[in-house]
Amino acid sequence: MTRLSSASLSNLPSTVAAPAYDRGSRASGIVHIGTGAFHKAHQAVYTDDALAASGGDWMITGVSLRSGDVADQLNPQDGLYTLVVRGQEGTSARVIGSIARVLVAPRDRQAVLEALAAPETKIVSLTITEKGYGVDPKTGGLDRAHASVAPDLAAPRAPSGAVGYIVEGLRLRRERGLPPFTALCCDNLPHNGRVLKRLVTEFAKAVDPALAAWIGDNVRFPSTMVDRITPASTDRTSAEVEELIGQRDMAAVETEPFTQWVVEDDFVAGRPDWEAGGAIFARDVAPYEKMKLRMLNGAHSMLAYSGYIAGHQYVRDVMGDAALAKLVKRQMSAAAATLDPVPGVDLDAYAADLLVRFANPAIAHQTYQIAMDGTQKLPQRLIEPAIVTLGAGASLDAYAFAVAAWMRYCVGMNEQGQTYELRDPREAEIAALVGGAGGASGSIVDRLLGLPGLFPEELATAPEWSNAVKTRLEAMLSQGMRAAIEREAAR
């Protein structure tokens, strides 16, 4: 069967939309670091819409910092791939054309640096997950000992991490007399633009204070909020795409119908017409960001840890479990109570929409996938709103259960005695703490609450918090997660 490529676009079925613009005549104005499934289902789709609606030199040069898999999938297809949208009313397919090529940093560092320093590059965007930035959990600044930071500080002209690449790319632009680009973080970090600015500036200051000053005066770091449930692609994805488009596609990605992108409109050298795809530009992204992190992502984390241990493979399975679905609703309600008003958003309606999205039977979003990188996700999803709740004197039940479920997951063994990897950057620390607890729930809680840089002292030392978590973890370990869920839902 023919493989998807520019030459084969004319052979697509009439039911499959193709790029509605001349891809070859558009330069790459965007370099995107982290060209994974989420980027392909989100920012690249908005850019595809923008190119079709308004044109411009806004094609994307993708960058993979580690694996060459995405490049090996996309480059033989001229950057084309199929977006499969699975909704309750059916499945549709569309070919996206906004990615021109993908570079693999370990294979060709210089090509990546030249893309960053190219005169046509105006935006450098990122989706590298929370753990990829090298944030010090204690200070919120640059972790100079982080695996993606320390080698780059030692050899800044030969970067391997995202922050190092951005700084070196900006150094080259300054050296060559070129204007800066806008650095656009699209990961689930609170105030992600400000975080990225701090990391880049601190890194640059350590290398060259004059460069740091130039960056501070000239580079823009807008904050963003992104939302689209994007499960990992499987063999089923590839097989279904062959049926839908009549061609082989090694880079297909599947997602849900819902998509949202809220962006702070602060770009130093222009931007695509992302409004054409439905992007919202706002002066302050923070209210939308907190809403999504606490209501959607917080509920996702809670259901992932408890659901995985309870034997639910997918989010849709969790939503079919009446007791656990009740706890999902409770989690969203507790999160909403910690929020200030969000412009143009009814939080009750937002929660109702989330419940429908989570229950979508066509989306196979694995609880194990959501559960990874917990130490990077818990602060903004569960810990920060728990502190707000504690300060307000409100019920801590929802957050205590969610964090206890994370701690039960940290044991690293399911109820059938099978072990699994936590897939967390602090996995070794967690294993040492849990292993030293001898299986005692109270000791596990005390040890994990003391994990450096994770739980602020005001929460970790609050008796009402630690006792609430201990009660729930004890139930999970002694009675099993199923019984703990039923008990919690009956409160």
Task: Assign 137 a pLDDT band (cuts: 50, 70, 90).
Answer: confident
Q: Are 43 and 177 contained in the same domain?
A: yes
Would 166 be classed as within a structural domain? yes
Q: How far apart are CA 82 and CA 269, in angstroms?
A: 30
Q: Are 26 and 111 contained in the same domain?
A: yes
pLDDT tens per residue, range 40-56 = 999 999 999 999 999 99
Would 52 be classed as within a structural domain? yes
> Which of 261, 282, 303 lies at the terminal end of a domain, its last residue?
282
Would 313 be classed as within a structural domain? yes
Share of the chain above pLDDT 90, in %: 99
Would 47 be classed as within a structural domain? yes
Q: Confirm if 32 and 60 have CB atoms less than 8 A apart.
A: yes
pLDDT tens per residue, range 308-366 = 999 999 999 999 999 999 999 999 999 999 999 999 999 999 999 999 999 999 999 99
Q: Are 275 and 371 contained in the same domain?
A: no
Would 1 be classed as within a structural domain? no
> Which of 243, 262, 282 lies at the terminal end of a domain, its last residue?
282
pLDDT of residue 189: 93
> Which of 282, 297, 313 lies at the terminal end of a domain, its last residue?
282
Does residue 287 register a pLDDT over 90?
Answer: yes
Section 250-256 average pLDDT: 98
Q: Are 247 and 337 contained in the same domain?
A: no
User: Token match 């600044």: residue?
Assistant: 141
Does residue 60 register a pLDDT over 90?
Answer: yes
Q: Are 189 and 299 contained in the same domain?
A: no
User: Token match 């000053």: residue?
Assistant: 213
What is the C-alpha radius of gyration for the chain, rounded to an integer number of angstroms? Answer: 23
Residue whose C-alpha is closest to residue 83's, from 276, 255, 238, 246: 255
Q: Are 117 and 251 contained in the same domain?
A: yes
pLDDT tens per residue, range 367-405 = 999 999 999 999 999 999 999 999 999 999 999 999 999
Does residue 88 register a pLDDT over 90?
Answer: no
Would 341 be classed as within a structural domain? yes
Task: Assign 81 a pLDDT band (cuts: 50, 70, 90).
Answer: very high
- For 437-455, b/e burial (b = at least 16 CB within 10 A) is beeebeebbbbbbebeebb
pLDDT tens per residue, range 173-195 = 999 999 999 999 999 999 999 99
Domain containing residue 66: CATH number: 3.40.50.720
CB neighbour class for 196 (10 Å; exposed up to 12, middle 13-18, buried from 19): buried
pLDDT of residue 310: 98
Domain count, the chain: 2
Q: Are 246 and 304 contained in the same domain?
A: no
Task: Assign 1 a pLDDT band (cuts: 50, 70, 90).
Answer: confident
Q: How far apart are CA 438 and CA 358, in angstroms?
A: 36
The edge-to-edge listing of strands for the beta sheet with 81-87 is 90-96, 81-87, 253-255
Would 472 be classed as within a structural domain? yes
Show the domain range for 135.
6-282
Q: Confirm if 193 and 187 have CB atoms less than 8 A apart.
A: no
pLDDT of residue 482: 98
Domain containing residue 340: CATH number: 1.10.1040.10
pLDDT tens per residue, range 416-448 = 999 999 999 999 999 999 999 999 999 999 999
Q: Are 156 and 302 contained in the same domain?
A: no
Section 97-126 average pLDDT: 98
Q: Are 272 and 140 contained in the same domain?
A: yes
Q: Are 84 and 158 contained in the same domain?
A: yes
Would 361 be classed as within a structural domain? yes
Q: What is the mean pLDDT of the chain?
A: 97
Does residue 138 register a pLDDT over 90?
Answer: no
Q: Are 223 and 294 contained in the same domain?
A: no
Task: Assign 34 a pLDDT band (cuts: 50, 70, 90).
Answer: very high
Taking each helix axis from N to C terminus, what angle separates 463-479 and 384-392, rounded to the nearest 10 degrees? 120
Q: Are 256 and 334 contained in the same domain?
A: no
Does residue 296 register a pLDDT over 90?
Answer: yes
Q: How far apart are CA 135 and CA 199, in angstroms?
A: 7
Contacts 24+ apart (CB under 8 A), 410-414: 410/374, 410/434, 410/444, 410/448, 411/444, 411/477, 414/308, 414/309, 414/311
pLDDT of residue 89: 85
